[in-house]
A and B are shown apart, each in its own frame.
Chain A
Amino acid sequence: MARLFRCWITGLALTAILAFSAFSVMARSFDDIIESGYMTIAVYNNFPPYSFIENDTPTGIDIDVATEVAKELGVEPRWMWINADENLEDDLRQAIWKGHIITRKKADVMMRVPYDRKFSYAMDGYGLPRNEMVVMFGPYHTEQWALLRNTDKTDKIETLAIFQYEKIAIELDSLPDFFLSATLNGRLRNKIVHTPTTFDAVDLFNKGEVAAVAGMRSQLEWAVPPRANYTINTVGLASMSIKSWDIGMAVKQDYRQLAYAIEGITEPMIKDGRMKAIFDRYSVSYLLPDLYKE
């Protein structure tokens, strides 16, 4: 089916269905989680450098952050690997408040959930809250869009105009895809190479088939070791509607006590440099979330 619209609505229409849903599983209280000795953590499947499997071991920034949180809570981390759906509302529904449509499993907390008040308190077209089933909390870093360029091909030209002549690879249906396809009246459109993921785009870049890749800074930095003729920066993307955003976590609306406890762990991690140390391990720049800036 034409998925975009149909899956979007599942995210919108929660209240009515949810209240009567036969699927509701009893929420685990904070005490239940501590007593059980484990915490289920939803992370995106195969999504470096945040969460992925390497040598049969869960690896990545989100894995390390969550492991540290679990350690301080005195529980074992258990991973619920989720495949991303069409949008965040779908993922929150499946991972946090309603459960997966087939397995009905849920997680206690989900990583890599944007921390954006405009999003948290957004209303749907009927004037009802879009995300009232979850609490989004605990920003632990800032992600941003960036351009990876091979300066042998782009020379000293830092404006986007170069991409009328040189190819640029982008993950299909990402915000940079929308932006670069539409900007300059669509003049870059024929030089855009669409790929399933940013890493497929980086592969083309490494083979010399494209001059640049647009994507998330953390992914580009993790995927491409620094070289003299490679640059990763945000030059040219100033007029994107959203240039950067904070990343935090989410729990179900009635799990606030768990959210407070987790925030009580991540906040000191940010302040005493342990958070940055995790990002350093993956060669990713650590950008402080807005909440913790001066």
Chain B
Amino acid sequence: MKSRTVSSHLISTAIGLALSLSALGNAQAAGVTDKDILNDQATTSDILTYGLGPRGQRYSPLDMLNTKNVKKMHPVWAFSLGGEKQRGQESQPLVHDGVMFVTGSYSRIYAIDVKTGDELWQYEARLPDGIMPCCDVINRGAALYDDLVIFGTLDAILVALDQKTGKVKWRKKMGDYKAGYSFTAAPMIVKGKVITGISGGEFGIVGKVEARDAKTGELVWTRPTVEGHMGYLNGKENGITGGEANKTWPGDLWKTGGAATWLGGTYDPDQDLILMGTGNPSPWNSHLRPGDNLYSASRLAIDPDTGKIVWHFQTTPHDGWDFDGVNELISFDYKEGSKTVKAAATADRNGFFYVLNRENGEFIRGFPFIKNITWAKGLDEKGRPIVNEDSRPGNPADSEDGKKGKTVFSVPSFLGGKNWMPMAYSQDTELFYVPSNEWGMDIWNEPVSYKKGAAYLGSGFTIKSIFEDHIGSLKAVDPKTGKVVWEYKNNAPLWGGVLTTAGNLVFTGTPEGYLLGFDAKTGEIVYKFNTGSGIVGSPVTWEMDGEQYLSVLSGWGGAVPLWGGEVASRIKDINQGGTVWTFKLPRS
């Protein structure tokens, strides 16, 4: 069930051989340990984790590159993902022991010599014919542990490969693709276990978080994310999620309640908690499922040893707008007087930015990070939205006469004030850099619909811009006050991750193809380079031989190109691609 090609480039020249020997001489090629992973943010010579450290802050203490010299930064190599399979490249590279690991569209992964950009090996998962991936055939990255590189495929298989050879060490099925399960997120390593969520907000599936022994792939625990479902630890029953069924769901709908954990999570070593978000509840029509529908559209704090839910925070109770609660929850500390607050922050699809106490999940404060939110008037003192019921999409029962139901205009659109693309937190400026989008949607019930040979009642909508000159908006947000310190406006919607560094820099990419560098304090653009295709990946930076490098994937795709109308007009001239770009300063 796999195909693998090992590049003949591997040590193809005497120079290459000499280089790799010297690399071996310097640092014995040791396997990645839990300690390495916990220290990832501080150790700047490697990138072992999605998020540049388990907290997912995407902050690097490197400052060789700074606002003064960054304009001289130039590409040192570019690596093509090749073939005709050039679709959205949402991946974040990892760097370890002289090798860069990059995942690509269509469930591919590459090992690249980080000095030269030469391919060492590539692995392409063979995907079954019948697979129906939602949205796009993307992958967001891999995890490293011991001598393994681990990533998940569109048909929901978790694969561990030998870092050196690309040979398969183990393969485990996370769910049945025929039932609608898929996988696109980067796995995460916590205490020797590989932690995964699952994609597929399809009807009939229930989200879950799972832990496997990273070395063998054996399942340790599984935790369903919908109330009423049993969790398991070492094959034994380990408590029902939420205690019992039907507390916040009517009838038997909890059995198929959705809440997919499709974006993976972060880990807070201080509290020893996995922080994982969940998607929207199912079915889509909220009028059929009165109640909060726990734990959909929530953030869960999970004990990594047992898979028990320690606390939860629901951002959109009784969701009716498709506001997935999957966006990353980033742990950070801040001072309040003399007190250190152990906080965590997230910028939700629903347009609100939340600061939580990560010791207990309690709401500290929240505020809108996009303009003109319509669906809620605000948040109450516990962080629960004060919903504007007029803006809830109409009840399909009202369309039983076969006519289009009422049209509701809602901000943000279901694509969210912020979608999957990860924000960054700077320990220097103490600001979050949030890649957001300002857009709304018209939404209505669509009675003229069909599904698998049967009449159906769908939902129709159009995405609409709010402002003439931009949808995309990168904002520097102060988590202590809610103040937007600066904003960069982009014509097309932003869909790529953000990186910030101790060099007072913020980097992100745009659909127009630019890698942009900003002054972290002021938002002034200090770097601009066109990568030739849209950027929807997440940049990283690391240090090698005393120089600071930066890498980002370019390759347009993801969900954005799937739209029509006003959004399409902003992106129609963007070409496909699939390239890893690596930059540094010229040697002085």
Contact = CB atoms under 8 A, between A and B. Distances in A.
A194 B250 contact: no
A242 interface: yes
Contacts of A194: 251-253, 255-256
A3 to B, nearest CB: 5
Nearest to A84: B452
B457 interface: yes
B135 A125 contact: no
Contact of A2 (B106, B279, B399, B454): B279
Contact of A126 (B256, B462, B572): B462
Q: 4 closest Cβ contacts across the A-B interface?
A: A125-B462, A182-B397, A84-B452, A13-B564
Nearest to B281: A2
A175 B460 CA distance: 16
A83 B460 contact: no
B199 interface: yes
Interface in B316-340: 322, 324
B390 interface: no
Interface stretch (B6-14, B441-449, B541-549): B441-449
Interface stretch (A44-52, A149-157, A268-276, A283-291): A44-52
Contacts of B462: 124-126
A174 interface: yes
A161 interface: no
Given A13-B568, A87-B450, A172-B283, A6 B134 contact: yes
A125 B442 contact: yes
Interface of A: 1-10, 12-17, 20, 22, 44-45, 47, 50, 81-88, 90-91, 94, 100-103, 105, 112-114, 116, 118-119, 122, 124-126, 128, 143, 145, 172-175, 177-179, 181-183, 186, 189-194, 196, 216, 239-242, 245, 247
Contacts of A114: 450, 453, 455
Interface string B547-582: 000000000000101111110100010001000000
A10 B562 contact: yes
Interface stretch (B23-31, B41-49, B201-209): B201-209
Contacts of A3: 134-135, 180, 200-202
Interface residues of B, number: 76
Of B204, B454, B459, B462, the most chain A CB neighbours within 10 A belong to B454
A136 B542 CA distance: 56
Contacts of B401: 241
Contact of A116 (B106, B448, B564): B448
A47 B453 CA distance: 10
A17 B322 CA distance: 24
Given A7-B134, A9-B559, A50-B453, 15 more contacts: A1-B324, A17-B562, A22-B576, A44-B452, A45-B130, A82-B130, A101-B133, A116-B450, A122-B448, A125-B442, A173-B283, A175-B456, A192-B252, A245-B450, A245-B455
Contacts of A91: 452
Contacts of B324: 1-2
A4 B564 contact: no
B395 interface: yes
A84 B135 CA distance: 15
A256 B566 CA distance: 32
Contacts of A45: 130
A215 B456 CA distance: 12
B458 interface: yes
A112 B455 CA distance: 12
B280 interface: yes
A192 B249 CA distance: 13
Contacts of A196: 204
Given A3-B202, A182-B287, A242-B455, A85 B132 contact: yes
A15 B16 CA distance: 49
Contacts of B287: 182
Interface of B is mostly: loop
B219 to A, nearest CB: 24
B492 interface: no
Given A83-B178, A173-B203, A182-B288, A44 B453 contact: yes
B79 interface: no
Given A87-B451, A116-B448, A178 B396 contact: yes
A239 B400 contact: yes
A16 B180 CA distance: 28
A186 B300 CA distance: 31
Nearest to B256: A172
Interface of A is mostly: mixed
Contacts of A247: 453
Contacts of B457: 175, 178, 241
B129 interface: yes
Contacts of B565: 13, 125-126, 128
26 contacts: A1-B199, A1-B262, A2-B322, A6-B134, A6-B559, A9-B562, A12-B563, A22-B86, A45-B130, A83-B132, A83-B178, A90-B132, A101-B137, A116-B450, A125-B461, A125-B565, A126-B462, A143-B454, A172-B204, A181-B288, A182-B288, A189-B250, A194-B255, A241-B399, A241-B447, A245-B450
Contact of B137 (A9, A102, A190): A102
B575 to A, nearest CB: 9
Interface in B36-65: none
B201 A241 contact: no
Contacts of A143: 453-454
B402 interface: yes
Contacts of A94: 132
A118 to B, nearest CB: 5
Interface in B111-161: 127, 129-135, 137, 154
Of B400, B568, B572, the most chain A CB neighbours within 10 A belong to B400
Contacts of A81: 130
A122 B565 CA distance: 16
A9 B564 CA distance: 8
Contacts of A241: 399-402, 447, 457
A86 B451 contact: yes
Nearest to B576: A22
A4 B324 CA distance: 12
Contacts of B84: 22
B264 interface: no
Contacts of B134: 1, 3, 6-7
B473 to A, nearest CB: 21
Contacts of B290: 186
Contacts of B402: 241-242
Contacts of A178: 285, 288, 396-397, 457
B109 interface: no
A203 B559 CA distance: 39
A242 B565 CA distance: 29
B535 interface: no
A240 B130 contact: no
B194 to A, nearest CB: 21
Contact of A190 (B250, B414, B447): B250
A191 B459 CA distance: 26
Of A2, A125, A186, A190, the most chain B CB neighbours within 10 A belong to A2
Nearest to A81: B130
B278 to A, nearest CB: 10
B130 to A, nearest CB: 5
B260 interface: yes
B293 to A, nearest CB: 13
B258 interface: yes
